[in-house]
Amino acid sequence: MAAAGRTEAASVIAALRQAPEEFSLVQAVRLLERAAREAAQDDPRLAGQTLIGQDGDPRLEPVRFSGAVGVAFPAGEIAGFADGLPPRLTVEAMTLDGVSGALPPAYAEMAIQAERGRQPAYHAFLDLFLHRFVSHFVRSARKYRLPLAYEAREAGETDNVTIALKAMIGLGSPFLEDRLAVPDEMAIHHAGFLSRRQMPLVALSAMLSNIFETAVEIIPFVRNVIPIPVDEQSRLPTRANPDGTFCRLGLDAVAGCRWSMSRGGSASASGRSPMTLSEAGCPTGPR
């Protein structure tokens, strides 16, 4: 599975290399960060790389950003991709000079003249600031996009969204992690349901269907007959017991030795047989 995943990632990187203008900036960085983590597993020299926009050494980041030179209208967010350690992305939609830049047009003309004269020092100086500027843009995108924040855990970063979801369902303390009969990821996935005081019927059915991987239907208001113990059955007052026992009308008086209740009863029906579903949910079962 790992080899297949790396082959798929390599094919996506090849597509990024051939047509970088078809990728968004955040998605391209996401792919390169994942490829760098997979490469670090095979090459110890690549270990220690950090995510883009963090407070560590910028030389350990898995990608460098460079601004596109020119005043043409940008065709996409990315203008070019260059291999290397680390690879370099030429950013077109977010530059310091040029059409989308904040600097005056004279700086773009100076960059064009420097490139024609094969003097890369001027543009490299601007890239020092551009790299940090774009890195913080990617960092802010990771903060407000749940999939990016979740993937940051693979690089050892803190996932504040998952921490908040754990706190909502009572798993905020590290001492309460990995103690459920199901993986914590399953509980986090249903945090919206589990955080409510009363779980709706549709939510319970959806959660059970996800856990048992089959369609589960909850049938509400199923009649349930509960036997009443002898010492708790209603008795009228007598000389030996002037107050009686559970004989207050409208409160605790019940005629007979059984109590029929349908308000709190329910039943489940699934695509599997009841015995198969029950065995799967046992502590020794597969679910």
**Rounded distance, CA 233 to CA 266, Å?**
25
Amino acid 204: pLDDT: 84
Enclosing H/E stretch for 192: helix 191-194
**Rounded distance, CA 28 to CA 53, Å?**
15
**Rounded distance, CA 118 to CA 136, Å?**
30
Amino acid 263: pLDDT: 63
Of 44-48, 194-198, 281-285, which gets the smallest average pLDDT?
281-285
Q: How many residues does the chain have?
A: 287
Asked, for residue 205, whether it belongs to a domain, the answer is: no
Tell me the sheet residues that pair with 260. Answer: 225
Asked, for residue 101, whether it belongs to a domain, the answer is: yes
Distances (CA, A) of 203 to 10, 46, 171, 214: 39, 45, 20, 15
Asked, for residue 49, whether it belongs to a domain, the answer is: yes
Higher pLDDT, 178 or 271: 178
Asked, for residue 286, whether it belongs to a domain, the answer is: no
Strand 266-270 and strand 78-82: the pairing is unpaired
Q: Which residues constitute the domain of residue 10?
A: 2-155
Amino acid 2: pLDDT: 47
Asked, for residue 273, whether it belongs to a domain, the answer is: no
Asked, for residue 263, whether it belongs to a domain, the answer is: no
Domain count of the fold of the chain: 1
**Rounded distance, CA 268 to CA 222, Å?**
10
Asked, for residue 180, whether it belongs to a domain, the answer is: no
Q: What are the pLDDT digits (tens) for 146-198?
A: 888 777 776 666 778 888 888 888 888 888 888 888 888 888 888 888 888 88
CB 247 within 8 A of CB 236: yes
Distances (CA, A) of 52 to 34, 55, 85, 261: 12, 9, 15, 60
**Rounded distance, CA 38 to CA 210, Å?**
30
Amino acid 280: pLDDT: 55
Asked, for residue 253, whether it belongs to a domain, the answer is: no
